Structure 1
């Protein structure tokens, strides 16, 4: 498959993942935890960089191609960290799950940016809840798979000739 086609496909998959996230939030009533918000941001960024790669159709050895693939990789790593943390929290016994923290809106009003980021990555008790599964995997686990595959994709593209 042509590189440009893969970029369009990845951008489309990211779009559909965000549509699904908003469907689960607004139709099914599943409220996103702080780590889910970070994962949405990572999916959005991956989609943007895939779209930029598709639109520019930059050749593999060019600086533009390397920059967009590097930023896509960084976004996928951000997603791996957030989804990995969520899967870890979901695997904890109930008595070891951290207490739920303040809402994201409250944190944005009261905390500094660095404190908000720190709290987002810590996760909360809400991040440990498993409200939905497919084939035995939670949303966080499926997102960990997506981010891992996407990171390998961008990594491969960074180092290919």
Structure 2
């Protein structure tokens, strides 16, 4: 039998991060970029997996919870690199080099660009962006999921 306290900690940790993201969006007025939205889906999946475990689901769901947490942590790490200029992000949400674009092509690129760019830090605390904090907390949640999966409480 799995340690349900660890499952609760991990799944409600993902729910807390997800609610925090919604709070920044709807209360704080910080619209998410596309990569921010990508980071939310694995948290929702991890929470649902926790609910399924409490409903009697098999132990393997905890391993899937760890995978979900590692995925959102990885996306957060990638997003952090995009924000810091360590590497380029998806062209759908970052500014890129103009290159040899014609004026018409440049105008089309500007008009198709999203309002919120992935390569700009919208909020930070202690020098870390929301993407960075998500990467760190999600990695910790993944370790908790693994502990739950391995537990025999």
Q: Same fold (TM over 0.5)?
A: yes
- Offset from partner CA, 1:81-104 (integer Å, 9 cap, x none): 2111101111117xx7558627xx
Q: Distance in 2 between matches of 1:47 and 1:99?
A: 27
Identify the residue that residue 147 of structure 2 maps to in structure 1: 156
Q: Distance in 2 between matches of 1:11 and 1:152?
A: 12
Does residue 81 (structure 1) correspond to residue 65 (structure 2)? The answer is: no
Identify the residue that residue 63 of structure 2 maps to in structure 1: 70
Higher relative contact order (CA 8 A, sep 6+): 2
Q: Larger Cα Rg: Structure 1 or Structure 2?
A: 2
- Offset from partner CA, 1:90-143 (integer Å, 9 cap, x none): 1117xx7558627xxxxxxxxxxxxxxxxxxxxxx8112111112221100110
Q: Is contact 1:100-1:126 (8 Å) kept?
A: no
> After the TM superposition, which of the residue ranges 35-44 and 127-136 deviates more from structure 2?
127-136
Q: Is contact 2:4-2:148 (8 Å) kept?
A: no
After TM superposition, give the deviation of residue 51 of structure 1 in Å: 2.2
Identify the residue that residue 136 of structure 2 maps to in structure 1: 145
- Offset from partner CA, 1:43-66 (integer Å, 9 cap, x none): 11111112222332x6xxxxx11x
Q: Is contact 1:33-1:127 (8 Å) kept?
A: yes
Identify the residue that residue 49 of structure 1 maps to in structure 2: 49
Q: Which runs of 5+ in 1 are unaligned?
A: 59-63, 103-124
> Any runs of at least 4 consecutive aligned residues in structure 1 with deviations exceeding 3 A, and if so which?
96-100, 156-161
Q: Distance in 1 between matches of 2:66 and 2:90?
A: 32
Q: Which runs of 5+ in 2 are unaligned?
A: 94-115
TM-score by length of 1: 0.68
TM-score by length of 2: 0.71
